[in-house]
Structure 1
């Protein structure tokens, strides 16, 4: 309901009555008139808000109808673009096709353009605009990702053990506040003795941990260096070659070790003549 001029006149008359009641000193009548004016103000405010909201809705509808109405194809294109934009927002990690070689590379979406996405390739830092059809989410293999995490954890443990083993144990000295002084009371001496005992116990535990880390690091180094040697046998996982297998040489004999491989080719020894005077004398 839009406020009219008669409504405004009625509210002005009520305001004048309040003023007269205030002058004559009638508080009950004044209170009643103030309540009426308050209700009128609330009603006026609600009407103004409703009118403003209705005008906004009507104006937006007129603006939409007066603007260029998209055709069916344009509406479909806008819907497709909105779907694509919602699929990969700015900052998403994706895979995009590089225009130079047509291969997929990891990239990051930096902006959304009318023609697709503006991406930056993670490995080389190149940036270009890519068609939406040439953008896809990053393909992650769960097994490969689990192996990568396990390997990273293993390397972190190795680094921690190596760091702990490389640093020798350094015994800390007893703090000055725990040293027993001759002038200390008996109860203070008892308390300090208990703290000294706890301090020494902690030092022994730390020393044992350092020694254990050294032994563990030495064993792991032995495993990494010696464990790479190829061995054959029952527990090695590599089968021992049978002497009864067919030889590589068709003229070899089965059951004879080294048959068909030929003899060892030694270097032929020759006699070297050392000539004196830079020339050699030959017999006629």
Structure 2
């Protein structure tokens, strides 16, 4: 569709040039003024639609390129969750006591989360902790506890942030989708209005001709056999006329 819009954009620009040329000889013509405003608006809308589609295409290409990377990262995380990496654990503190904050492994996924020590066995080998986010208790080895560093962030918080970002992104996409739909509706409306303006000009020119006026319609037949009926037979010599969307049907009716 982007290619079609590019082609339409070029046609609209040419039509605008032709209407502006017609206004130089008839600056007070309200129909031409309205057509000029509509063309300027439809040109802007077409540019926006082209830009939107290019952004969507780029996003789709980037998503496809990153899918294989995401799969590899997921596999690595699953493997890491099966067995904690003890080599990266901070050396055990010898003075852990009930009430201390720490990072403890949750058996559900093998990841570290913020927790509070609620009990330590007499031999000091095992410890019972309560995870801050889930408020559930779990027994783990005291040697696997990690000190909670200043500014450390819970993995659960990371997950919540990620979920919030996804929700915001989803809302943004929905907004952009509705915005694009409104632009498309306005685009179609302007197309219909421009066709109506063409018919108004033809009717206006017919009336002035009956009154003996010599005003020449910009939709008049060209002087040369290669010319085409459309906006702009006024001073645009040698250039083929730009057609409206339904110009083919109009020509057949002549």
Pairwise same-fold verdict (TM > 0.5): no
Structure 1 or 2, whichever has the larger Rg, is: 1
Q: Could you state the TM-score of these two structures normalised by the residue count of structure 1?
A: 0.29
Relative to total residues, which structure has the larger helix share, 1 or 2? 2
Q: Could you state the TM-score of these two structures normalised by the residue count of structure 2?
A: 0.32
Greater relative CO (CA pairs within 8 A, separation 6+): 2
